[in-house]
């Protein structure tokens, strides 16, 4: 991670980490709380904070405009009962919307329609 940060800073490349949770973390309230308190999740978010890396935590962000049921049933592909896989087209669209909002918050030059200007 340190080499990645050094490289991006040396080349003035912008780095945004998107923390993608497993869909089973949205199965119910207990699963979500367990995922949120999970050792790996907590350690990674703390590392991003310590190193000053901007990030998007989809575990949190999905819940801003969606119910847990919507995230579990609509944003992830169902593999089997209680298990999820990759994002659905709606899930990909939601992730893109969240990333676009974060880039706007960072003032990284995102224009309407997802085109990046000279920043």
Mapped onto helix, strand or coil, the DSSP state of residue 6 is helix
Q: Could you report the per-residue pLDDT of 11-55, keeping only the tens digit for each?
A: 888 899 999 999 999 999 999 999 999 999 999 999 999 999 999
Decide if pLDDT at 111 tops 80: no
Contact 75, 94 (CB under 8 A): yes
Q: How confident is the model at residue 1 (pLDDT cuts 50, 70, 90)?
A: confident
Q: What's 2-105's CATH class?
A: alpha beta
Q: What is the pLDDT of residue 80?
A: 77
- Spatial neighbors of 106 by CB under 8 A, at least 6 apart, are 14, 16, 54
Answer yes or no: is pLDDT of 93 > 70: yes
* Whether pLDDT at 7 is above 60: yes
pTM, entire model: 0.83
Q: Sorting pLDDT into bands at 50, 70 and 90, what band is 79?
A: confident
User: What pLDDT is recorded for position 6?
Assistant: 86
Q: Is the pLDDT of residue 119 over 50?
A: no
């Amino acid at each position: 991670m340190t080499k990645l940060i050094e490289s991006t800073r040396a080349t003035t490349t912008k780095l945004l980490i998107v923390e993608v949770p497993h869909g089973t973390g949205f199965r119910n309230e207990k699963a979500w709380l367990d995922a949120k308190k999970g050792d790996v999740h907590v350690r990674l978010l703390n590392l991003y904070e310590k190193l000053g890396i901007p990030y998007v935590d989809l575990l949190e962000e999905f819940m801003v405009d969606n119910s847990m049921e919507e995230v579990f049933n609509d944003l992830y592909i169902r593999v089997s009962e209680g298990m999820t896989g990759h994002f659905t087209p709606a899930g990909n669209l939601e992730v893109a919307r969240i990333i676009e909002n974060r880039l706007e918050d960072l003032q990284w030059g995102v224009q309407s329609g997802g085109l990046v200007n000279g920043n």
